[in-house]
Amino acid sequence: MKTLAANTRRASRELASASAERRDAALNSLADILDDRSSAILDANQHDLDAGERDGLSAHLLARLKLSEDKLAGLATGLRQLVGQGDPLGRPLRQTELDDGLMLTQVTSPLGVLLVIFESRPDAVIQIGGLALRTGNGLILKGGKEAKHSNAALVDCIQAALEQAGLPRDAVVGVEGREAVASLLDCDHDIDLVIPRGSAELVRTIQQSSRIPVMGHADGICHTYIDAAADPSMAVAVTIDGKCDYPSACNATESLLVHREFLPHLSALGEALIAEGVTLLADVSASAHLSGAETAGPEDGRTEYGDLRLAVSVVDSLDEAIDRIHANGSGHTESIVTEDPVAAQAFLDRVDSASVFHNASTRFADGFRYGLGAEVGISTGRLHARGPVGADGLLTTRWLLRGSGQVAASYGPGKRDFKHRRILL
């Protein structure tokens, strides 16, 4: 695996310095190859589906595993859309004339080599592979073993596309098995970022076993806070959407905080939630206003349920709501429902989470909804990328300095001064 990672590093450097035209050509080739090879890909997929049925995979997992002509055509369309969106590489972010004939430019560059670990959906191979080609990053893909044949067929397509475009096929490789991942997590010299797309447990396990930076959300314990001045019907709509729209998503609301002055409206809110099938786990103060709620235990309010359970607690003030969010949340997404602009602004200013909303469902925290294009993932880390991450999260920068023989010893007290003229871009 050390050799594999080193080979990917070498190939990634070739990819990184290839022209945008060449990387676009690879994306176009890949779209064409998906069309050409569709029946072979669907055969490989059928192989996985048959094995999955034999192994008793759930209907839900089988549906995620299944490819179709339509899905492949959709993937090809997605790739063609990436072409001609403008080169994300070499984009100047900052330019400063340090002195006459000494120009500094900070430009975007690929991050390097990514290790992406994902489960079941083989479509991810093409989506992530397309992003890697566009952003000039080397890519090591580890999919689930239930999609083994499908993933291998799709990685083959990417390698063929790289070759057709005159790029090194080693820039994108697939690996299998836990042992492979374990050894790759040691290759901190040749892998720059690990992106685990799966359960919070997967993310945590990887974070704990590697020195390579990991981009992902370990937890999604999101709060909706119903302020004293909340519009009661908006409170119902935003809470139901936050909890029920897709309960297993990381941006689903897990904990509802209710200002004491809103209590007269809590019973109606509770009934609406229960009508949607939500199980309420209420603290003592909230219970008094909720018929049909269960009593919250010590872990409720700090748990990612991933289902239709919802913790409900009463707070005496906005300050208490914010303190509880900081104490129990995971810094993912929190929303305040209020008609009071001062409370809203205080919440937006003070809550220390990746996404902070006013009068909107926590479910909006998502790269597609944010308009970032392809979503790489959602990061609850604070460095590099925070919240929903688009292709920009796969870029770093380099500082280019173009001179005419200048030396540092010429500058300083009693010598030349730097001009530091910032160039507007």
Contact positions with a copy of itself (CB under 8 A) in 381-410? 382-384, 386-388, 396-409
Span from 119-127, 194-202, 268-276, 377-385 in contact with a copy of itself (CB under 8 A): 377-385
- Using alpha carbons, select from 211, 141, 213, 208 the residue that is nearest to residue 181: 141
Kindly state whether residue 208 participates in binding a copy of itself, applying the rule CB under 8 A: yes
Rounded Cα gap, residues 356 and 305, in angstroms? 20
Assess contact for 93 and 107: CB atoms under 8 A. Answer: yes
Interacting positions 271-330 with a copy of itself (CB under 8 A) = 326
253 makes contact with a copy of itself (CB under 8 A): no
Q: Is residue 342 a contact point for a copy of itself (CB under 8 A)?
A: no
Contacting a copy of itself (CB under 8 A), which of 2, 260, 416, 422? Answer: 422
Report the C-alpha gap between 118 and 325 in whole angstroms: 30
Q: DSSP character for 18? A: S
Measured from the CB of residue 381, what is the shortest distance to a copy of itself in angstroms? Answer: 8
Q: Which two tokens stand for residue 132?
A: 């890697």
Q: What are phi and psi of 287, to 5 degrees?
A: -55, -40
Comparing CB distances to a copy of itself, the nearer of 98 and 202 is 98
Answer yes or no whether residue 20 interacts with a copy of itself by CB under 8 A: no
Cα 227 from Cα 257, distance rounded (Å): 8
* Residue 149 or 363 having the CB closest to a copy of itself: 363
352 lines the binding site for a copy of itself (CB under 8 A): yes
- Token pair 């050509």 in the structure block, residue: 25
Backbone angles phi, psi at 192, to 5 degrees: -100, -25
Residues touching a copy of itself, count (CB under 8 A): 71
Residue of 51, 62, 237, 274 interacting with a copy of itself (CB under 8 A): 237
Judged by CB under 8 A, the residue of 187, 365, 374, 376 near a copy of itself is 365
Interacting residues with a copy of itself between 71 and 100 (CB under 8 A): 90, 96, 98
Q: Name the 3-class secondary structure at 213.
A: coil
Site for a copy of itself contains 354 (CB under 8 A): yes
Beta carbons of 398 and 112 less than 8 angstroms apart: no
x-marked contacts with a copy of itself along 171-200 as a string, rule CB under 8 A: ---------------------xx-------
Which two structure tokens, joined as six digits, stand for 292? Answer: 């049909």
Segment interacting with a copy of itself (CB under 8 A) among 142-150, 253-261, 290-298, 358-366 = 358-366
d(CA 406, CA 65): 59
- 216 sits near a copy of itself (criterion: CB under 8 A): no
SS3 assignment, position 345 = helix
Whether 53 contacts 108, CB under 8 Å: no
Among 54, 60, 211, 415, contact with a copy of itself (rule: CB under 8 A): 211
Bridge partner list, 279: 309
Comparing CB distances to a copy of itself, the nearer of 65 and 89 is 89
- Which listed range, 117-125, 171-179, 235-243, 260-268, lies at the site for a copy of itself (CB under 8 A)? 235-243
CB of 36 to a copy of itself, least distance (A): 28
Residue 137: half-sphere exposure toward Cβ, Cα within 13 Å? 30
Task: Determine if 357 is a binding residue for a copy of itself (CB under 8 A).
Answer: yes
Residue 338 beta carbon to a copy of itself: minimum distance, rounded to whole angstroms: 11
Q: For 217-244, give the DSSP string.
A: -S---EEEEE-TT--HHHHHHHHHHHHH
CB count in 10 Å sphere of residue 205: 15
**Region 110-169 residues binding a copy of itself, contact defined as CB under 8 A:** 111-112
Note whether 413 binds a copy of itself by CB under 8 A: no
